């Protein structure tokens, strides 16, 4: 509030909102005495008492209620206007809240988010991962990554990252001991890591070739719901795993894992960073969107 030029009006609205001078003073960063003096000064200027005050309660007078109803939209509009002007020149700072499923968060972490934080150290990113689909507006998030074909139609979407796809992998030792599957049905004779979805259902491994989809209900020694745990098990030679290609790319390049059935796992829709249209985006938000467009 300090220096906003709207301190008296902010004070009235805060007291009306809290029904307490003490609570309003805490919100505004003022002492109770300073707040009381500010309101008294305003009441003298407008020539009417705005609040009924006793030792136990604070309430708006009829004139005060009318005053609050009239100034509330105007004060909000003025704050919005100042935010717009300030955002043109201010250094990106503050917190950006991002909601993502775990694999999506991993895909944008290094190419976008870490790079962004190195450029704008005054920004804090609050990254929340969960398996369910979330309404980012209702849940109070600024933006999130989602497969392009799953982005709601009322959202703005920016493609980010390289083409995506699944990868079926096993350790060289496992394949040497058990043979290599050449078509998806071969997996039924192998030890496979089962995947439990956030809703509790077991995931059927998805394949496609020549436009024909195929699902395989694999079986094996373990059922897991977290890719990082499954990767540990597959690297140790226990069985075959089904991952996002980005999560195992480095292990494939290093020879720790071997990719199989590659022709049966075509590319998926690209990942998009999506967000709602907003009137007054912060400098941090605008900077992240600009960087996402560069990365994309």
Per-residue pLDDT for 73 more than 70?
yes
Residue 67: burial class (beta carbons within 10 Å; 0-12, 13-18, 19+): buried
Domain 166-264 has CATH 1.10.3720.10: no
- Does the pTM exceed 0.95? no
The mean predicted confidence, pLDDT, of the chain is 88
Contact 158, 292 (CB under 8 A): yes
Helical H runs in the chain? 7-18, 21-28, 32-46, 62-87, 102-108, 115-119, 172-178, 227-235, 245-253, 283-295
Asked if residues 240 and 193 have their Cβ atoms less than 8 Å apart, the reply is yes
CATH class for the domain made up of 7-87: mainly alpha
Residue 1 is predicted with a pLDDT of 41
Same-fold call for 94-161+270-295 versus 166-264: yes
CB 231, CB 247: distance < 8 Å? yes
Q: Which fold has domain 94-161+270-295?
A: D-Maltodextrin-Binding Protein; domain 2 (3.40.190)
- pLDDT the model gives residue 188: 96
**Higher pLDDT, residue 235 or 95:** 235
pLDDT of residue 9: 92
Q: How many percent of the chain have pLDDT more than 90?
A: 53
Q: How would DSSP label each residue in 79-103?
A: HHHHHHHHHTTSPP-EEEEEEE-HH
The per-residue pLDDT for 134 is 79
pLDDT tier for residue 174 given thresholds of 50, 70 and 90: very high
% of the chain with per-residue pLDDT over 70? 95
C-alpha 191/C-alpha 184 separation (Å) is 13
The pLDDT-based confidence of 2 (bands split at 50, 70, 90) is: very low
* Contact between 157 and 148 (Cβ < 8 Å): yes
Phi and psi at 96, nearest 5°, equal: -115, 125
Give the residue extent of every domain in the chain. 7-87, 94-161+270-295, 166-264
Local structure of residue 214 (DSSP, 8 states): E
């Amino acid at each position: 509030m300090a220096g906003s030029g709207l301190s008296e009006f902010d004070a009235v609205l805060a007291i009306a909102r809290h029904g307490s001078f003490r609570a309003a003073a805490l919100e505004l960063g003022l002492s109770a005495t300073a707040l009381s003096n500010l309101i008294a000064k305003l009441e003298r200027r407008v020539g009417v008492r705005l609040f009924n005050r006793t030792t136990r309660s604070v309430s708006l007078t009829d004139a005060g209620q009318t005053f609050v109803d009239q100034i509330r939209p105007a004060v909000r509009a003025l704050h919005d206007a100042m935010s717009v002007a300030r955002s043109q020149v201010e250094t990106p700072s503050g917190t950006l809240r991002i909601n993502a499923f775990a694999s999506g968060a991993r895909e944008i972490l290094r190419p976008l988010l870490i790079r962004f934080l190195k450029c704008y150290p005054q920004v804090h990113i609050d990254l929340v991962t969960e398996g369910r689909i979330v309404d980012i507006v209702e849940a109070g998030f600024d933006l999130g990554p989602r497969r392009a074909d799953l982005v709601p139609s009322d959202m703005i979407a920016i493609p980010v990252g390289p083409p995506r796809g699944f990868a079926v992998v096993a350790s060289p030792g496992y394949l040497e001991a058990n043979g290599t599957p050449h078509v998806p049905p071969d997996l039924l004779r192998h030890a496979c890591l089962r995947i439990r979805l956030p809703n509790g259902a077991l995931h059927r491994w998805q394949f496609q070739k020549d436009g024909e989809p195929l699902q395989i209900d694999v079986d094996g020694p373990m059922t897991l719901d977290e890719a990082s745990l499954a990767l540990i098990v597959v690297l140790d030679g226990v069985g075959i795993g089904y991952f996002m290609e980005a999560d195992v790319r480095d292990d494939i390049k290093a020879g720790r894992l071997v990719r199989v059935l590659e022709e049966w796992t075509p590319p998926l829709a690209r990942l998009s960073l999506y967000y709602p249209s907003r009137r007054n985006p912060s400098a941090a938000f605008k900077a992240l969107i600009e960087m996402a467009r560069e990365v994309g």
